[in-house]
Structure 1
Amino acid sequence: MSVPGGSVLQPLRAASDALRMLRQGPPDPEAARAATLRVIDAIEASLRRLLRDDPDASIELRLRALAPDELAPEQVVAELRQRDRIGIESAAYFHELLGIRRRLAEGSPGTPRDAETALRAAERLEREVADAAARPVAPPPPVSEAPPPPLEETPEAEYPAPEPVSRGVPPWLWAVAALGLLLVVLLGVWLSLGRRDSSLEEGIALFRSGELARAEPHFQRHAQANPRDATPRLYLARIYRRTGEPDSAAAELRRALDLAPEDAGVYRELGLLFLDLGQNEPAIRPLRRAVELDPDNAEGWIMLIQALRLAGQQGAAQRVLAQAPAEVRALLQSARGPESRGSAPR
């Protein structure tokens, strides 16, 4: 069953014990400090996922969103504010939390106000994400399936009077009849394919507009009508990952891999699923495979480099970066900026 916010709020839900401790009152100052830091980190991770799942953001920005060394926390908040994904109050709370985190990380003792600020920021973010998930999105223009206008009939008077014919059927008439029958068959096939593809096209349009619940049945119908097509399975996996249903997402990815074992997009989605679950090391293998299958795809390279960095394999990430296409190297270097190269921002 999907929940509002889905995978976006998963880091915050994973920190539920720290939130509970702050609400009840920590047993000692050190416990309060650790719980506050954990909640702040979870809020940042949720904000990064919110930006990563923003369909209006560029693919480069979405790929950089999960990596602190590619996009600083302040930049994440600025991008979300620019797109009206969070309110100004949430942005102000998070900027205050960044100052608290820096102070606590340096060893300063925590205060009751630190814990209260972290709690309020977490509660506000949960409300905003839930409200955004429930907010209706303008539906995309419907795909027209109207039949072509009927041909205008020519008045009978304009046709010449038929000449008497022999009782035998001329050979050319059989050829014309066969050609007409063939055209009827081809027209039926074309109309059938058009109806079949409309479910997939409408599902993709709804998915891109953020209407995941409305998109799902379109992909289900197309998958049922076209059991050998991996595309609807891939989109269903994307929907289930975003709505917090990792088991369903994994099941769809298994089906997609059975149908298209050489599809790089399926491997990229599998890597994203592992990253969403916090399993950074297992994400590396499918992302490597995605790069092998589609070495010209910049998205796959960036995701692999991010997975290696998140798994703590900085040397391997640097080696992959050196092998990546020039556009990937330029993108990641420009994203980090000269002042941040060599050290990841907090």
Structure 2
Amino acid sequence: MSFAPDSILRPLHQRAADVELLRAGPAPAGAVVRVARAAETTLRRMLRDDPTAPVELRLRALSDDDLPAPDLLGELRRRNRLPLELAAAVHELQGAAQRIAAGDEPLPRDGQLALSVAEGLDAHVRALPAMPLEDPVEEEDEPLHGESAQTVHAVPAERRRFPWQALAALAVLVLLLVVVVRMRADGRASRGLERAEAAYAAGRVAEAEAGFRAWADEHPRDPQVRVYLARIYREAGRRADANLQLKAGLDVAPENPGLHTELGYLLLDGGHPAQAAERFRTALGFNPEGVGAQRARGGLVRALREAGRPADAERELQQAPAELRALMRSAPAPAGSSSTAPAPSSAP
């Protein structure tokens, strides 16, 4: 079968009524937020259904925790799947949606921006060249990414103001000053991590590595930065360095599922699918349904296949969501035997 624009665009098509409201006049707050969320879901489907992308990346596209929105835009830009102007408009719309959801009134241009993104995405997806998809996702209508049934609306201005008395206001001001002083120090450090994450998403690996190493030096007990560094080293073929990062992370966070998942992929790359399968099972034991679970389950299915256990792989696949089942069934079959490197020794 071929690339299916209607499937990718389904989240936006489900918001057709909101798009009509945006065309009609002043932007209703809820319509802007809902169209912004539908646009992000559409972009995730674009990356998920890109057959030229690695399966691991397509798995990450299913979760905004595994692939936050800025990283999603970066990956689509890096893979030349999204024009710069449209990516910039989506980024601006996400900022507007966050502002409105926090209680601000929509600005006059927010509605036009949301309409422009919706129409631009529709035209762009339909213009993409057809690419083969061996087993496209068979989906039922489902709630859009990140949405609940609750209506989104701006908080009235009068409800955002509180009649503080002078003494209470002074006490609050003193407290806020203390918090601001502390947050400035934390903020400077966290901006360094955010810059490293943005550099990694944009493909500037050397810059990202330097940023992650600086963060790891200052925060040696943070397991997530070890996952980032291990992934960078694994993708660069530096298996020993990746193993050292994972060992350091597992020494302080032995129950962190992300570390076990990344170690599973390291073992797979080294030709040790049976040991990799155990790591993926460990990750799923700590985190069977939450953030990163689909990436771990996808790795487990691949490991079982490469270990010559297709029946076990199929049983695991039956427990997975429909999106993951379709994605894994469209993945290439294992490429036979390969040279086997010594297995990493990162057991906690």
- TM-score per shorter chain, which class? 0.3 to 0.5
Return the TM-score normalized by structure 2.
Answer: 0.46
Q: Which has the larger radius of gyration?
A: 1
Q: TM-score, normalised by structure 1?
A: 0.46
